[in-house]
């Protein structure tokens, strides 16, 4: 009779734990499985760009495509040229200097430089797929971003502080009933906890330099005073009982008058000088359909002016940026920016892209926006994205695209410009039956194979 000893039990236990935990570990910091396609060498032969389709358990989500590029000699340098997944901006935070915007999509935190229009790889990815970023806030000097993250399985809350280049401080575990936080100084955050029955608040003071947390209890009046000093030091808008009020640090709230030219307005945002508001409204066309647009007016209701043309889709979350000279807004899961006089209305980000082709300078990638015939080019180092308008560049793109498709169809591999290396995509199936791919580069003699981008790429 076969006896099971302690050693065999330990081995069996390790195997069971490995099978159960491997999926969650694999998709923690390194991201979800991806399928790669549409390879393209840069003209200088030093970089590859490709399309990555986000997958879960080997099932492709067709609407989640990310254009990426990689330095072949240093595979750690992976450039995210379009935001991860569908780039639905769940949370948005404008920097205090109005020149950068931080936003959260399904998987992490991104920062976009509004002066250049550049957006590069994400600063921070959620540690696990169960995590949800509840709130983000810039420090007073705009050098760091605090992220309040909740695990929707355990309801555990943690605070992460990230700097502009993605360097992350140590995680700070918070109480589950933390409801909000705000920066007190550039080195200190104040977190508020749910009010107790005696109307007293627990305040958690967090020092960013020294990883310590001090907890104390204050009255509701003290908390409101602290909140007013930290938040209401700037003029702001609030909605109350169907009216829009202008709240200032000194004096009584002032009612904002709706222009007579419109029947409704939403998503109001006050200009930096406190004299005007930008908002979303609509009008009826002659055929009975509704079109939405951005408009602005003075706070007394005068000076109504339509900023953008009418859209069939709803634009939302308008923000005054870059000193109040331009307006940022979101439409169809992408960021747009327009001058306050309505000129230069253009797209800053693209949620989905496909069919990448390198520009002749080896620093820009041209790609097609999914579902449209619109072409964009993006600089892999700065992240700056601009529409392709020159007919000569469009002709170059379609010519090179046909060459790439022909070479892929004939060989299934892509020869580098110097004819010394071959890039190709290799399929993999792990022990759980999950299918994924990886990008490999061989030298022409097939003597050496390198995996440039693994099957669990860090999105």
pLDDT for position 210: 62
Query: 58 φ, ψ to 5°?
Result: 80, 5
Asked whether the whole model's pTM tops 0.85, one would answer: no
Q: Using 50 as the pLDDT threshold, list the residues of the chain that sit under it.
A: 1-2, 17-31, 57-62, 85-87, 232, 457-459
For every residue of 22-91, DSSP letters joined together read: HHHHHTSSS---EEEEEEEE-TTSSEEEEEEEEEETTEEEEEEEEEEEEETTEEEEEEESS-STT----E
pLDDT for position 429: 76
Q: Give residue for tokens 């909740």.
A: 150
pLDDT for position 438: 87
For every residue of 279-339, DSSP letters joined together read: EEEEEE-TTS-EEEEEEEEETTS-S-EE-S--BSSPPEEEEEEGGGTEEEEEETTEEEEEE
Could you read off the pLDDT of 156-204 as tens digits, one per residue? 888 888 887 777 777 788 877 787 788 878 788 877 766 555 556 667 7
The three-state secondary structure class of 411 is: helix
Phi-psi sector, 81: left (phi>0), alpha (psi -120 to 50), beta: alpha
pLDDT for position 337: 93
pLDDT for position 22: 39
d(Cα 343, Cα 322) in Å, to the nearest integer? 15
Return the structure tokens found at 378.
Answer: 């993006």
pLDDT for position 26: 32
Could you read off the pLDDT of 87-97 as tens digits, one per residue? 456 688 999 89
Which residue(s) pair with 191 in the sheet?
Answer: 181, 204
Are the beta carbons of 159 and 189 closer than 8 angstroms? yes
pLDDT for position 261: 85
pLDDT for position 184: 79
In the chain, % helix, strand, coil (3-state, to 5) comes to: 10, 45, 40
pLDDT for position 393: 94
Architecture of domain 234-349: 6 Propeller (2.120)
Taking residue 324's Cβ as centre, other Cβ atoms within 10 Å add up to 16
Are the beta carbons of 280 and 314 closer than 8 angstroms? yes
Instruction: Kindly provide the residue ranges of all beta strands, DSSP E only, lying in 175-211, ordered along the sequence.
Output: 178-185, 188-193, 200-207
Q: Which residue intervals of the chain bear CATH 2.120.10.60? A: 234-349
Are the beta carbons of 152 and 132 closer than 8 angstroms? yes
Q: Which of 224, 154, 156, 221 is nearest to 190 (CA)?
A: 224
């Amino acid at each position: 009779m076969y006896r099971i000893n302690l050693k065999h039990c330990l081995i069996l236990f390790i195997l069971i734990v490995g099978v159960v935990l491997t999926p969650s570990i694999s998709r923690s910091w390194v991201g979800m499985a991806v399928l790669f396609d549409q390879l393209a060498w840069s003209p200088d032969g030093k970089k590859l760009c490709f399309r990555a389709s986000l997958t879960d358990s080997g099932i492709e989500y067709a609407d989640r495509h990310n254009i990426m590029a990689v330095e072949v000699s240093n595979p750690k340098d992976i450039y995210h040229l379009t935001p991860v997944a569908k780039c639905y901006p769940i949370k948005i935070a404008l920097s205090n200097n109005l020149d950068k915007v931080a936003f959260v999509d399904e998987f992490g935190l991104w920062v976009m430089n509004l002066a250049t229009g550049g957006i590069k790889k994400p600063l921070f990815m959620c540690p696990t797929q169960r995590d949800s970023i509840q709130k983000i806030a810039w420090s007073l000097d705009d050098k760091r971003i605090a992220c309040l993250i909740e695990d929707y399985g355990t309801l555990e809350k943690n605070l992460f502080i990230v700097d502009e280049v993605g360097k992350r401080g140590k995680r700070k575990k918070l109480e589950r009933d933390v409801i909000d936080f705000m920066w007190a100084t550039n080195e200190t955050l104040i977190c508020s906890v749910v009010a107790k029955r005696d109307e007293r608040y627990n305040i958690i003071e967090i020092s960013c330099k020294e990883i310590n947390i001090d907890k104390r209890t204050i009255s509701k009046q003290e908390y409101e005073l602290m909140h007013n000093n930290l938040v209401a030091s700037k003029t702001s808008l609030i909605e109350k009982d169907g009216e829009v009020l202008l709240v200032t640090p000194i004096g009584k709230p002032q009612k904002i008058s709706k222009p007579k030219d419109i029947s409704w307005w939403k998503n109001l945002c006050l200009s930096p000088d406190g004299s005007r508001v930008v908002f979303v409204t609509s009008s009826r066309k002659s055929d009975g359909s509704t079109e939405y647009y951005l408009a602005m007016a003075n706070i007394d209701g005068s000076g109504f002016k339509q900023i953008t043309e009418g859209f069939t889709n709803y634009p939302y979350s308008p923000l005054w940026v870059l000193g109040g000279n331009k307006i940022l807004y979101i439409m169809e899961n992408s960021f747009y920016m327009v001058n306050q006089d309505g000129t230069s209305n253009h797209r800053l980000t693209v949620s989905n892209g496909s069919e990448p082709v390198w520009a002749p300078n080896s620093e820009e990638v041209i790609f097609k926006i999914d579902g449209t015939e619109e072409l964009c080019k993006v600089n892999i180092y700065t992240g700056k994205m601009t529409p392709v308008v020159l007919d000569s560049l469009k002709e170059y793109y379609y010519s090179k695209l046909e060459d790439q498709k022909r070479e892929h169809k004939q060989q299934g591999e892509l020869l580098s410009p110097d004819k010394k290396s071959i890039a190709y995509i290799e399929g993999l199936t792990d022990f759980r039956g999950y299918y994924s791919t990886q990008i490999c580069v061989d030298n022409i003699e097939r003597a050496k194979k390198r995996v440039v981008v693994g099957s669990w790429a860090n999105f």
